[in-house]
Amino acid sequence: MALNNYLAERKAARSNSDRPAMIMTHVVCGYPSFDANWKALEVMDSFGVDLVELQFPFSEPSADGPLFVKANQEAINNGVHVDDCFDFMAKVTAKFSFKVVMMGYYNTVFKTGHRQFMQRLKDAGAEAFILPDLPVEEAGELHELAKELDLSPIILMTPTNTDARLKQLASCADGFIYTVARKGVTGSDTSMTTEVSEFIQRCKTFTELPLAVGFGVSKSDDIKFIGKHADIAVIGTAALKAWEADGEQGLRDFFDQLLN
């Protein structure tokens, strides 16, 4: 519920600004380092992003594209542990005004234990979590715990889902819905076409929650397109590419062309 209220406020605030959509960005914890993460978050905060996904690195990131695969792998090689991610998350939520969403793979949660993981998320100040490899059929107990602790499970809707499935997904969702604009893994280009807008429209018939649009957002036109049809633009790979190319300044320039 906390996240729902926050998003409603941010949405209202945005109607007086020239920002076409709310913005959710992404960092992989500990890649290239926690210091670099922090600097990236300062840049993101300075551009007034609304939400940030903190990805807990996993050794088998099968839904991620090449750049995030490498990021996950190197973070683990750097010795990043789940404990470090929670510590970092607590620092981030204490300092910044954007809200934090945990992103990762289900095994990280499973190995920690459902209750313990959810409690630690709560204690670290997260609002929500995204586990792309946990289907709703398997998520019953975890979602109950989330409800108890006022954490939002973020559900993904995809263009391959039937209407019946979208309805089922909507019934499990809270906070916002992550709509996957296209098939494939993170990081490849998506052209923002009528196909995408029709899919978003189809999602809207099943939920009143805000819709985030992910996968391949990189240009200011993408943000405008998303603002017209949905609520939240998700910026993942493109931002990491900018950081890889030119560090802090690269990231700043990237957001500048994207948002200003």
Partner 1 sequence: MDLFDFKDGREGYYGEYGGTFLPEILHSTIEELKAEFRKAKEDPAFWQEFMQLMQSYSGRPTPVTHLENLSKKLGGAQIYVKREDLNHTGSHKINNVMGQGLLVKRMGKTRVIAETGAGQHGYATATMAARFGFESRIYMGAIDVARQRPNVFWMENMGSEVIAVTDGQQTLKDAINECLRDWVTNMDDTHYVLGTACGPHPFPEMVSWFQSIIGREAREQMLSSAGKLPDRIYACVGGGSNAIGLFQGFMDDKDVQLVGCEAGGFGPGKGNHASRLAYKDASVGVAQGMKTYFLQNDDGNMLETHSVAAGLDYIGVNPVLVHLWEEDRVRFEAVTDTQVTEALKVTMRSEGLIPALETAHAFAQAILEAEQMSKDDVVLINMSGRGDKDIFTIADALGDDHWKKFIKQKADAYSSEG
For partner 1, which residue of 107, 114, 149, 248 counts as binding (CB under 8 A)? 107
Q: Which token pair is 104?
A: 């990762």
Complex with partner 1: residue 108 or 197, whichever CB lies closer? 108
Catalytic residue among 53, 127, 222, 231: 53
Q: Specify whether 18 is catalytic.
A: no
Residue 76 engages partner 1 in binding (rule: CB under 8 A) = yes
Residues 6 or more apart from 164 whose CB is under 8 A from it? none
Q: How far is CA 147 from the centre of its chain?
A: 19
3-state secondary structure of 53: strand
Is residue 65 at the binding interface for partner 1, with CB under 8 A as the rule?
A: yes
H or E element, residue 213: strand 211-214
Query: In whole angstroms, what is the distance from residue 187 CA to residue 160 CA?
Result: 19
The whole-angstrom separation of Cα 233 and Cα 54 is 16
191 in contact with partner 1 (CB under 8 A)? no
Active-site entry in 50, 64, 127, 222: 64
Binding partner 1 (rule: CB under 8 A), the pick from 3, 28, 52, 82 is 82
The C-alpha angle 25, 28, 212, rounded to 5 degrees, equals 30
Give 137 or 208: the residue with its C-beta nearer to partner 1. Answer: 137
Contacts for 158-167: CB closer than 8 Å, 24+ residues apart = 158/183, 159/183, 159/195, 159/199, 163/202, 163/206, 166/202, 166/203, 166/206, 167/206
Which residue number, 156 or 212, has a Cβ lying nearer to partner 1?
156
53 catalytically annotated: yes
Which part of the chain contacts partner 1 (CB under 8 A), choosing from 10-18, 88-96, 133-141, 193-201?
Answer: 133-141
By the rule CB under 8 A, 112 interacts with partner 1: yes
Contacts with partner 1 by CB under 8 A lie at: 57-63, 65-66, 69-70, 73, 76, 81-82, 105-108, 110-112, 132-135, 137-138, 155-162, 165, 169, 180, 183-185
Write out the catalytic residue numbers.
Answer: 53, 64
